[in-house]
Structure 1
């Protein structure tokens, strides 16, 4: 088959998927109270929705699914990983979500299997979400094959982690999603980047990396443009 046919097939498939998600979101609004709205102390409303059962019809876009542990009242935003982000708070007016990467915190604080993160937090985010540069700092972890020179150690403000030899943490500037990766390069080391919410008063220190990770990070969201346009079109058609 011609390459143009495959391209057209991919485009049609993408539009159809987006259309179905938009229809699901519209139906969710029409059903209103048909979808769970509470998870512990969290109020869950559009565009977020709580997953109850795989047999239930979705209450919105799949990117905004929330798993709720009814026994603990903890809501978790689903991600591309099997481990989602624990939701601390949601501001619907500002379209911000305070999240905690529980898996990374558990790895860093474990007494038996302490290990520094190996994946950037941004790699787990779904398309509609962005890590706020204005609210978050760059928390960088280094896994090194050998100890950096003393001058580099001091230059970068490195602090040793308790996970293993030659593993370090460093607090950078505003979170920038790696637009200036060279500024964080350290020879012989693998760097992993985590956003960390800037503490009140701006007093943050890399030596308190566990506390910074525990404090979470701020995410903003938008509905994908293609869904917004299709949703608007279906709304106009239903009113005409």
Structure 2
């Protein structure tokens, strides 16, 4: 009798549980994302912009990494995975080739508005889970050194002008090959903080060299992404 009671209770609860689960999944999924414009760029699947009036997501569950923000109606921004860290300005999207050309906004701030060089994040650390730097990229490395370390720097480093630091102690190195493992330990310098910044190989600004480092960063670099299967809705 006791076992039968449990079966009856489960049968009574099951329709309610199914109804609640179905409602939650439908609410999360939204109504689908239509293509939108941000500046001169069309935002289409898998990327999406939230509804400006309601703030409601139109993306499928698990697609939050592809949510963009339209900054001042001028250009889309891919958010950083590091809290309170500036994201990536999108210059171009090619959905068919799964390619994004982006600019790391945080690195530009080092030369314009930033009052502090900290935190020092490698660009790759700021990328969301599905995104990765295109292997065709090159890298430049920015160094912020102590005075002692700056005095013994090699001739392969060029001085930079970072507003967040003493200009006599900041340097840049270019033509650093892309390493898919992210191992750049051989370029570390004692007494210097360093960040690795990807740049385009064959940049529109011309030859990839340290003399035009700021323009190289402003030209951006290429990202690609993996499309993982969406999680089940139950």
TM range (shorter): 0.7 to 0.9
SS of alignment partner, residue 147 of structure 2:
coil
CA contact (8 A) 2:158 2:173 kept: yes
Give the alignment's Cα RMSD to 1 decimal: 3.0
Distance 1:56 1:147 in 2: 53
Unpaired runs of 5+ residues, structure 1, are: 1-19, 235-240
- 2:141 alignment partner in structure 1: 140
Check 1:48–1:191 CA distance in 2 against 1; reply closer, same or farther (3 A cut): same
Distance 2:150 2:55 in 1: 57
Question: What does 1:31-46 align with in structure 2 at a 5 Å threshold?
Answer: 31=31, 35-46=34-45
Following TM superposition, the consecutive aligned residue runs of length 4 or more in structure 1 with deviations greater than 3 angstroms are: 112-117, 147-152, 177-180
**Which structure has the larger Rg over C-alpha atoms?**
2
SS of alignment partner, residue 139 of structure 1:
strand
Check 1:194–1:85 CA distance in 2 against 1; reply closer, same or farther (3 A cut): same
- Normalised TM-score (structure 1): 0.71
Residue 148 of structure 1: how far off its partner (Å): 4.1
Number of aligned positions between the proteins: 199
Check 1:113–1:210 CA distance in 2 against 1; reply closer, same or farther (3 A cut): same
SS of alignment partner, residue 213 of structure 2:
helix
- The alignment status of 1:182 with 2:185, answered yes or no, reads yes
SS of alignment partner, residue 49 of structure 1:
coil
- 2:196 alignment partner in structure 1: 193
2:218 to 214, 217, 221: 214
SS of alignment partner, residue 45 of structure 2:
coil
Higher fraction of helix: 1
- Normalised TM-score (structure 2): 0.73
- 1:120 alignment partner in structure 2: 122
Unpaired runs of 5+ residues, structure 2, are: 1-21
Residue 95 of structure 1: how far off its partner (Å): 0.2
